[in-house]
Structure 1
Amino acid sequence: MRKHIRGIVLVLLILLLPCLVWAEDEPENDIEITLNWGFNGKAGNSDACLPVTATLTNHGEAFEGQLEMEVPVAGNQESDLGESLTMIGNDMDYTRSKVCVWKKNIALAAGETRQETFYLTFPWANGTVQAYLKDGSRTVQTASLSKNFSANQDIALIGVIGAQPEDVQQLDGIQISEETTKGMGDIFVSVYQMDPSEIPDSWKDLGQLDALLIGPEAAISGEQWVTLHRWQQEGGILLTVEDGQDFFEVFENFLNGESRPTFFDRLSEKWGYVVYTGYDTSQIPVRKRPSLIKYFILILFYACLAGPGLYLILKKQGKRKYFWSGVTLLSVLFLGIVALLGTGTRLTAPVLTMRRMYTQQDHIWGETLQLGVQAPYNNTYQLYLDKSYHLTMPSESGYSAENVNTNITDKVEIYEKEDCYKLTFSRLPVFAGNAFFLNRDHAVSPEEEIQIHASGDNEHIEGRWKNPTGYRIENAILVLTNRIVFLGDLEPGEEGTFSEKIHSYGNGGLEKILRKYLDLKDTEYPDYAVNAVTEQIWDAQRKEIEGVCLLGTISNSDTSFEMNSGYEVDGITQFYMPVDISWQKEEGTIFCPNGEVLASVESGSATAGTNLMYGQDAVLDYDLSGLGEITGIKFFKPEYDDPKYFESFRGQVAFYCWSSGEYETISKWEKVFDRTELEKYLSADGTLRVRYQVADDMDVTDKNCTLPCLQITGKVVNPDA
């Protein structure tokens, strides 16, 4: 009996042997992670990338693994498959919950302490970041960090480089009173003293700062100056403090100067916080829509042929027994025809949509790229991007990250490898859009720059151009506010001359004039091309209110930013460059072809500079002090406008007489007024005040009014004469 029991026990032990698990002592967790917001924990402008610094301290042996930073983002709706399928959905109205994971390889020596900085974007109001240090699939250490961004609304974060602590004591903590902050309440200055080594590689990562002051002792490299100047070109406020100047005094002079509105516009972004880095790439056409009429006719023909048509033919020949065989063959045939017709509109792989902008300014060549990524399936897929670009992923959401299940929601992983970014998309529905922003910059010599040397009067601009680059700039245009000059194509490696007319347009006339003069015969999507140029012009005019810029479309740009993926790329590449035009084409004469940009609104319902009037009357002051002795002003209606939404001004024009203090009605205002006629209407400081009153029969309730355009001619005044 005992032998049987022993045998049974032995058999059981043998059977249980594979189930045994050898237990080892877990290694002690000797790595510590501390997370902190960049700029010493001070967060300013929360519409920009926020630096998050992970400090890793290794108290044990050498370690190699991976550091992951996870940012969950809550969307404003969980899922809408119908909208995600359209390829033209509005990303700003449709955002899904997702989790974005940034990954880096980490190697820590024994006893080493290292800092890794990630520039991340977060949803509105508050954000959370979770850090994971992993050894393979095993999590070694975790840490988390949360912040309420709404607390930043009354803080102006000012960076300072090249100053001693005592130099900024007076600046730190000053209060900017509510009377000067455009309704934002009191603003308090918080100073962060930066070391030059903290200047990031990309201007995009400086967006956290509301202003940056550079002292005379700052040791800044050439590449760092490129970053700083590009940040300034993109709207950053960069102030230079010279020897002997006080930091507080320089900042105070800036607040009291002409550029102060840019500072408060920057602060106001915190009140309407949405992380969005540019254009909506979902509007870029990828395929032309299938012709419904063509398919309707084909299906109708099939129904007639496979039904009564085939039946009658077979009946006439006495072969009705072949009817169902014939229907089957016709079905296969028509299915093949439909498949063949659909090859031009079918998508079988992920598609990238881009809107790229090249800029040339201050001897710097800048490149920004809005990138949209979507796939016609919900399988996991990868995308490889060039590491020479700086990559940002906007959160696209104004919602907090609470209650986001990171185990089931949409997931985007960004793995920073040595030579590229590896992006992995998983758990996404069909055609779910993902937006990215890429940028890079480098300095260029004058010999490498596109050049425009030109002069102009009130009617024409003429000059020379040179394009030493390898890019072909199609439909090049010179843009002034409310004016446009068409130059044609600037071929790569060539130069030429031009003499072109200055065209005028009203608030609704830009699209009309573009459709008339742009060469779109070889453009696959002309409507999109016109819309893209229209947006580019409006953006340029916001930058160059009184200046001139060269715009164009680059037709031979490459797509090398995509590496080892082979996906289709659709979109547009554009060019922007400020241009200096001499408006003294004739010696001793000053021309201003768009004098309306010199206007400011004294009273009434109008927008200065844009010629837009949206009420019954308005009074505008035109500052002509910079044009010497005024010899003539021409008032005229714009060449192009949209009568559906805007009506050219009709009504009464009156000039203000500074000596009598009364307005004098001008019976015929569409004319050139000479010096004699204007003399009593110009103030001592060169201001012309004009009152516009619309005619009684003008409808300004359903449409706006476009005010007259102005051409101004002046004579150079010799102060020694």
Structure 2
Amino acid sequence: MGKHKKIAIILLTAIIMILGNYKNVQAAEEDKLKVSHTYGFESVYKWGTLVPITVEIDNNLKNIDGELQIELPVFNPEVGITSNDNVTLYTQNINLPLNTKKKVTLNIPISRNITSVKMNIVEGKNTLLSKDLSLGTALNPEDFIIGTLSDDFNSVSYINKVSIDSSSMGKRNFNTKLVKLDENSISEDANVLKPISVIIINNFDTSKISSSKYEIIKKWVNNGGMLLIGTGPSYNKTLSIFKDNFISGDIGNVSSVETKSLYKMLDNNSTSSMKLDALNINIKDSNAVIKEGTLPLVQRIEKGKGVVAVAAFDLGLNPLTNWSLNSTFGEKLIGNNLPNYYNDVNTYSRMVNGGGYNISYGLGNIPELPIPKASNLIIIFFIYIVIAAPVNYIILKKKDKRELMWVTVPALSIIFAIVVYFSGSTTRVSKPVANVLSTIIIDDKGNQSIQSYGTVITPKKSDIKIEAKDDMNIRPMVNLDYYDNRQNVDNSKKSKTIYSKVTSSPKTAMEFYNTGVFGQYNFIVDNNEVKKGALQSEIKFNDNKITGTIKNSSGLDLKDCYIITSSAYVELGEIRNGETKNINEPIKNYTGNTYEMLDNMFGRQYGGSPIQSAKQIQEKRVKEQKRMLMQSYFDSFGGRVTDPVFTAITDSQVTKDILVNNDTVKKYSKSLVVSNVELSYINGDKAEYPLGSIVPKVSSLSNKLAYDPGYGFIHGDSGEVEIRFQVSGKVKVESFELKQNKGNNPHGPNFQPLTNKGYIFNTAKNSYEECDYNNFTVGQDKVSQYIDKDNTIKIKIDTTGLNQPGTIPQISVKGSVK
């Protein structure tokens, strides 16, 4: 025993010495290989977005030809991953000679609220350094980041608060963070800029911004950002890059202007004034939101989903910088000019969170993939049961060989398994396939903006590497539907399973390991190809029909075409490329809820009676895919159509091939085509707005109530809600009708109208009077009593006793052209 004890002590001592030496060597290597990092924009970022993490490596160890890795925990119940034991590696190859420094930036999709990630520097199979990189606490997706490009950041830092008077939730104050930007921190990827809500450019030489980054800024605006530009004496610097038609107009001279307008913006009764050095600038297609006399001081231009606001003065000079009310002014300046989708909390929430579920579900549904006929399988199994049991038993009983059932039953099972295998051979998927869903938005100039999402579906367990062909690129898809708010990720645990690996350079490749049978592996497709092709329309509403023509010069063959308004739609069928379609279709009404509209178009694809035949299943899958494409688009801007749009489906290929393990795979694709259309409600000298075509605006409501314009209903507790209907100023209203908004969805639930007391504002009496929305029609003799000078009709509803969501009334208007 003594001898064995000595040996054990010697071995233990040796192990301790080895471990101690290992730690000393590791510590020595860490001293020679030092890293520091930055993240987000000055350590500010939002979860649910693409976050730039920059690692600076100081290499005094040896020549390194390896890889920088950042580990990100995978939490995705969609593929059965619900723990922190799986990670995705985001990597970039590094070649770092001895005694050199290098910065490496990786854009990481942070889809959950975590406070650190693990970084590795590896060479071959050797890990040279592992270190936790702290990320601090992320902002929520709906919080506000203001980025400033200025040579004097502090001079405009008074713009540090954002609030907005919301039609659905009253006044909302946003949690706001300010960050400094420069020409280097503007990313080459528009998705990295997405978490920034507002970019201010003031007293900054924009010519330092590269042309490619300028295009990124324009794309960021069109996708929903707000760009605020200060000019005044420094206008040559701030406007130097805007040489195209993104911002165009006439520029005059800078002069001193005495103005009360900025004070009146805060208090309409104010008589105070200040002197500003203002630039005489008139911007094409703009709206002057602040002006002094005829001189525009702040002009607003809508660009796609976003906004550009241009101030005629420098935002960072006196008297603004020393003005005691400058913070309130900055808050109003931003809040009053934000893109329209901020006006409703639900719309804004859908914009920032997206419709990830609809896209993911739609990608996994490939109607073109054949499925076995259920009737064939039922017949095969019926024959098997009959032969394996009674027939087999009777035959063996007659031969007095019943003990052979131990052999015959397994043999019959094998035979019928082979039969089932070959009966499904025509429907079997033996190789990975790709599915790509796109949205193509066509503007009035024929520019086609394409957003594509893809997936690869694998028929068996394997390791796969996904890449895009030619100049197309892919990137990971952040799934906000599976947000996990656990912050304490255990990076010290050694036995992590590598679920996937994303290599960003020279071109993005995504690798997935040990994929599941029919696993679904999603990604975003960035197609750098610029496409052009217009949709030209001349349509009007007349006698409960939409009439006119649509010419398809998009380069795409279109099917399942619709014109959709805020309360109605018409189905147009197919319009092939080059074809001009004559339209004379009666409208189909809906309440404004796009879910109801899609139920009416495609039927309710969830619940209901079981479907038996392969043909019915196929039809259901086709409708589901179209529905998910359309619903994802509607959800991206709040779920309600406010301006008339044309939508269609196309099978045309708009993306390049997808490679799996260096081989081109079979690719299925569908695209939703969307284009705004001008729908005229004027026919000759007469005007007619059908029920629901004028979208109601909630002007005020009690604190305990909320309005969801996406679904078109009021919900909450008792209170009052005031609503206005704005009629075009070109129309002289001669009659109108208010009517309860009753659902018309045969496939699903309908929200009931508010049935409490209703009131309408009498402009002649300057007060509200009670009315019945079930039957309230105003003719030409009394219409002037209810139309104010702005051509607006106002109503009020008492919601006392409200115990379920209720829809608000709709209006129809008839009149003549002024």
Q: TM-score normalised by the shorter chain: which range applies?
A: 0.7 to 0.9
Counterpart residue number, 1:633: 736
Deviation at 1:126, TM superposition (A): 2.5
Q: Deviation at 1:169?
A: 1.9
Q: Which residue of 1 aligns with 2:508?
A: 421
SS in 2 for 1:49: strand
Report the secondary structure of 2:781's partner residue: helix
In the superposition, relative to structure 1, how do residues 293 and 692 fare at CA in structure 2: closer, same or farther (>3 Å)? farther
Matched letter for residue 155 of structure 2: Q
228 and 633 in structure 1: CA distance in 2 versus 1, 3 angstrom threshold: farther
Q: Deviations over 1:222-261 (max 9, x none)?
A: 5444423332333322334443423468954543415377
Distance 1:259-1:233 versus aligned 2 partners, 3 A rule: same
Q: Distance in 2 between matches of 1:247 and 1:477?
A: 46
Q: Deviations over 1:664-718 (max 9, x none)?
A: 43486276x433232212234433233568999xxx85x754444333344444x
Q: 1:559 to 1:267 in 2, by over 3 A?
A: closer
SS in 1 for 2:110: coil
Deviations 1:191-211 (A, max 9, x none): 31321x543233211123121
1:414-464 deviation digits (Å, cap 9, x = unpaired): 12353x4332222565566544333345555xxx32222223236343444
Q: Which of 82, 89, 92 is residue 104 of structure 1 equivalent to?
A: 92
Among 147, 152, 176, the residue aligned to 1:165: 152
Aligned to 1:47: 48
Q: TM-score, normalised by structure 2?
A: 0.68
Q: 3-state DSSP class of the match of 1:529?
A: helix
For the residue of structure 2 that corresponds to 1:148, the secondary structure is coil
Distance 1:529 1:389, change over 3 A: same
Question: Which residue of 707, 710, 721 maps to 1:607?
Answer: 707
Correspondence for 1:13: none
Superposed CA offset, 1:328-379 (max 9, x none) = 6644432222213444665555454543222234765333233345545444
Equivalent residue letter for 2:598 = E
Taking the aligned partners of 1:32 and 1:674, their CA distance within structure 2 comes to 81
User: In structure 2, which of residues 192, 210, 213 is the aligned counterpart of residue 205 of structure 1?
Assistant: 192
Alpha-carbon deviations, 1:390-434, whole Å to 9, x = none? 51342754233612546433421112353x433222256556654
Q: Equivalents in 2 of 1:255, 1:442: separation in Å?
A: 34
Alpha carbons 2:462, 2:513 under 8 Å: kept: yes
Kindly indicate whether residue 768 of structure 2 is the aligned counterpart of residue 680 of structure 1. no
Aligned position for 2:769:
663
Structure 2 counterpart of 1:8: none
Tell me whether 248-257 or 466-475 shows the greater mean CA deviation.
Answer: 248-257
- Sort the Cα spacing of 1:182 and 1:367 in 2 relative to 1 into closer, same or farther, 3 A: same
Q: What is the DSSP-based 3-state SS (H/G/I as helix, E as strand, rest coil) of the residue aligned with 2:206?
A: coil
Distance (whole Å) between structure 2 residues aligned to residue 118 and residue 112 of structure 1 = 20
Distance 1:154 1:337, change over 3 A: closer
Candidates 417, 440, 457, aligned match of 1:358:
440
Q: 1:488 to 1:246 in 2, by over 3 A?
A: farther
Unaligned stretches of 5+ in structure 2?
1-24, 236-311, 321-328, 606-615
Of residues 681-690 and 240-249 in structure 1, the stretch that sits farther from structure 2 once superposed is 240-249
Cα deviation 1:467-493 (Å, max 9, x = unaligned): 344432221222222322323223234
Q: Measure, in 1, the Cα distance between the counterparts of 2:448 and 2:197.
A: 24
Q: 1:578 aligns with which of 676, 695, 704?
A: 676
Deviation at 1:504, TM superposition (A): 1.7
In structure 2, relative to structure 1, the CA distance for the partners of 1:488 and 1:58 (3 Å cut) is: same
Instruction: Report the identity percentage.
Output: 15
Alignment check: 8 A CA contact 1:483 1:504 kept: yes
Aligned to 2:572: 487
Aligned pairs (5 A) from 1:341-380: 341-343=423-425, 346=428, 348-350=430-432, 352-361=434-443, 364-373=447-456, 375-380=458-463
| Aligned equivalent of 2:813, options 695, 709, 712 | 712
1:43 Cα deviation (Å)?
Answer: 1.1
Whole-angstrom CA distance in 1 between matches of 2:699 and 2:192? 37
Which one of the candidate residues 112, 124, 142 is aligned to 2:112?
Answer: 124
Please state whether the residue corresponding to 1:646 is helix, strand or coil.
coil
Q: CA RMSD in A?
A: 4.7
Aligned residue for 1:45, secondary structure, equals coil
* 1:408 and 2:512 matched: no
- Mapping for residues 220-259 of structure 1, pairs under 5 Å: 220=209, 223-242=212-231, 243=235, 244-247=312-315, 252-257=331-336, 259=338
* Residues in 2 aligned to 1:695 and 1:185: alpha-carbon distance in whole angstroms: 28
* CA displacement at 1:114 relative to structure 2: 3.7
Distance 2:217 2:354 in 1: 22
For 2:658 and 2:596, the matched residues in 1 are separated by: 38
Residue of structure 1 in register with 2:643 after alignment: 547
Letter in 1 for 2:656: S
Contact 1:455 1:583 in 2 (8 A): no
Q: C-alpha separation between the residues in 2 aligned to 1:177 and 1:667?
A: 35
Residue 385 of structure 1, CA deviation: 2.9
Give the aligned partner of residue 324 of structure 2.
none
> Which residue, 627, 631, 645 being the options, matches 1:535?
631
Whole-Å separation in 2 of the counterparts to 1:155 and 1:338: 56
Alignment TM-score, normalising by the size of structure 1: 0.77
Say which is worse superposed, 141-150 or 286-295, in terms of deviation. 286-295
1:310 aligns with 2:299: no
Whether the 8 Å contact between 2:199 and 2:226 is mirrored in structure 1 is: yes
**More off after superposition, 285-294 vs 296-305:** 285-294
**Residues 470-485 of structure 1 aligned to structure 2 (within 5 Å):** 470-485=555-570
Q: 1:352 to 1:182 in 2, by over 3 A?
A: farther
Partners of 1:58 and 1:112 within 8 A in 2: yes
Q: In structure 1, what residue type is equivalent to 2:713?
A: L
Q: What are the superposed Cα offsets for residues 604-659 of structure 1, whole Å, 9 maximum, x if unpaired?
A: 76736554355899654223253342123244566833485215649576533233
CA distance in structure 2 between the aligned counterparts of 1:473 and 1:240, rounded to whole angstroms: 41
The one-letter code matched in structure 2 to 1:640 is N
Equivalent of 1:33 in 28, 32, 35: 35
Alignment-derived partner of residue 436 in structure 1: 523
Structure 1 residues 584-604: Cα deviation after superposition (integer angstroms, max 9, x where no partner): 443574757634413325447
Q: One-letter code of the match for 1:170?
A: V
SS at match of 1:525: helix
Taking the TM superposition and a 5 Å limit, the aligned residue runs for 1:141-156 are 141-150=129-138, 156=144
One-letter amino acid matched to 1:412: S
1:452 alignment partner in structure 2:
536
Rounded to whole Å, the distance in 2 between the matches of 1:463 and 1:232 is 33
Residue identity matched to 2:648: G
Say if 1:50 and 1:119, in contact at 8 Å, map to a contact too.
Answer: yes
Alpha-carbon spacing, 1:115–1:463, altered in 2? closer, same or farther (3 Å): farther
Relative to 1, partners in 2 of residues 1:118 and 1:190: Cα closer, same or farther, differing over 3 Å?
same
Q: Distance in 2 between matches of 1:348 and 1:56?
A: 45
SS at match of 1:126: coil
Tell whether the 8 Å contact from 1:353 to 1:571 is kept in structure 2 after alignment. yes
| Amino acid in structure 2 at the alignment position of 1:453 | S
Is the contact between residue 306 and residue 330 of structure 1 (CA under 8 Å) also seen in structure 2? yes
Question: After alignment, is 661-670 or 141-150 more displaced?
Answer: 661-670
